[in-house]
Amino acid sequence: MPTLDAAFSALSDPTRRAILARLAMGEATVMELAEPFEMSQPAISRHLKVLEGAGLIARRVDGTKHPCRLARAGIEPIDRWLAMLRDALTRNYDRLDQVLADMKPEKRKDTR
Amino acid sequence: MSKMTLKTESETTIVVTRRFAAPPEAVYRAHTEPELIQKWLLGPEGWTLPVCISEARPHGRMRYEWTNGKGGFHLTGEYVELEPYRRIVHVERMHLPETTPDNRVETRFEPDGDGTLMTIRMTLPDAETRAQMLATGMERGMEASYVRLDGELSS
């Protein structure tokens, strides 16, 4: 069972993040994924293995090809977590907006 | 003014930016003066910050204790550098109660029109730690969400 730790660890590499960004546009083969990077196919395959182990991508068999796609089940917990962190910070900073507004002398007169 | 960005940078850094409709002096003070910090650094609904120690000078202590009435957690830290109204560098760690690795935080306040652009750069010791911090944060965030949900269901 892939963990969130494994997912974040997999995401710590810029090449792997770029691969995920490419797969967000649709399925691709190892050859198609290797093309934009100055990397050998075995090197890309190693990155894909890490992403697959973290549950972020899935591969299917199509004759001799093994096209990759994003694995929704692996991506969703990360999306949810980032959304929650964003939400907590957003609430804090919305409150700070109000604190800053109250610090202005002219507003203080209006509200008190 | 509610535009906030949050992204990862290199292997160990998390960067948050936010604009405020107040000058850098006010935003800086709201980050260093305890009576102001206690009004906003609260996280999800239902949490308060009853203990807030912020000695805003080099080597000064920080200690924030949050509670939701049922339980809580706290943060300790030390100020490293302060350039009034422009920049703060401090080191902090959470006690959940297990202690998290040190997080070095640089906060910049830059004039932006008649407001302020704030940039927070959090740097963890290594990529593994950042991954753990993000993962721990998720559990905490979910716990807080459930607490909030409790409140909504009982009201």
Q: Which amino acid is at B32?
A: T
Contact B26 A3 (CB under 8 A): no
Q: What are phi and psi of A72, to 5 degrees?
A: -55, -40
Band (A66; pLDDT cuts 50, 70, 90): confident
B13-20/B48-54 β-pairing? unpaired
- Which residues lie closer than 8 Å to A51 by C-beta, 6 or more apart? A10, A16, A19, A20, A57
Using the Cβ of B43 and the Cβ atoms of chain A, whether some distance falls under 8 Å is answered with yes
Kindly give the parts of chain B with pLDDT less than 50: 1, 138-155
Using the Cβ of A31 and the Cβ atoms of chain B, whether some distance falls under 8 Å is answered with no
Return the biggest CA–CA distance within chain B: 46
Number of domains present in the structure of chain B: 1
- Residues from chain A contacting residue B15 (CB–CB below 8 Å): none
Which domain CATH number covers B137? Answer: 3.30.530.20
Please tell me which residue of chain A has the smallest CA distance to B131: A8
> Choosing among A79, A103, A111, which should be mutated to test the B contact, i.e. which has the most B CBs within 10 A?
A103
**Facing A100 at nearest CB: one of B22, B42, B128:** B22
With a CB-CB cutoff of 8 Å, which residues 76-105 of chain B face chain A?
none
Q: Which amino acid is at A7?
A: A
Task: Return the closest-CA partner of residue B144 out of A90, A87, A75, A93.
Answer: A87
Per-residue pLDDT at A15: 84
Per-residue pLDDT at B11: 67
Number of domains present in the structure of chain A: 1
Contact B2 A97 (CB under 8 A): yes
Q: Compare B15 and A3 and report the one with higher pLDDT.
A: B15
Token digits for B101? 């690795």
CB B3 within 8 A of CB A73: no
Token digits for B94? 């959470």
Closest approach of A52 to chain B, Cα-based (Å): 17
Per-residue pLDDT at A24: 78
Q: What are phi and psi of B83, to 5 degrees?
A: -115, 105
Per-residue pLDDT at B144: 43
SS3 state of residue A57: strand
Per-residue pLDDT at A110: 47
Per-residue pLDDT at B102: 87
With a CB-CB cutoff of 8 Å, which residues 126-155 of chain B face chain A?
127-128, 130-132, 134-135, 137-138, 141-142, 144-145
Contacts of A104-110 with C-beta under 8 Å, sequence gap 24+, read: A104/B22, A104/B26
Helix axes A72-103, A4-11, angle to 10 degrees: 80
Per-residue pLDDT at A79: 65
Q: Which domain holds residue A60?
A: 4-111
Q: Which domain holds residue B137?
A: 4-154
Q: What gap in Å lies between CA B43 and CA B23, rounded to an integer?
A: 24
Using the Cβ of A84 and the Cβ atoms of chain B, whether some distance falls under 8 Å is answered with yes
Which domain CATH number covers A97? Answer: 1.10.10.10
**Facing B131 at nearest CB: one of A12, A89, A90:** A12
Per-residue pLDDT at A10: 83
> Choosing among A93, A102, A107, A108, which should be mutated to test the B contact, i.e. which has the most B CBs within 10 A?
A93
How far is CA B86 from each of CA B14, B41, B111, B134, rounded to the nearest angstrom? Answer: 20, 20, 9, 28
Q: What percent of chain A has pLDDT over 90?
A: 22
- Residues from chain B contacting residue A13 (CB–CB below 8 Å): 11
Task: Return the closest-CA partner of residue A87 out of B7, B147, B43, B18.
Answer: B43
* Mean pLDDT computed over every residue of chain B: 81
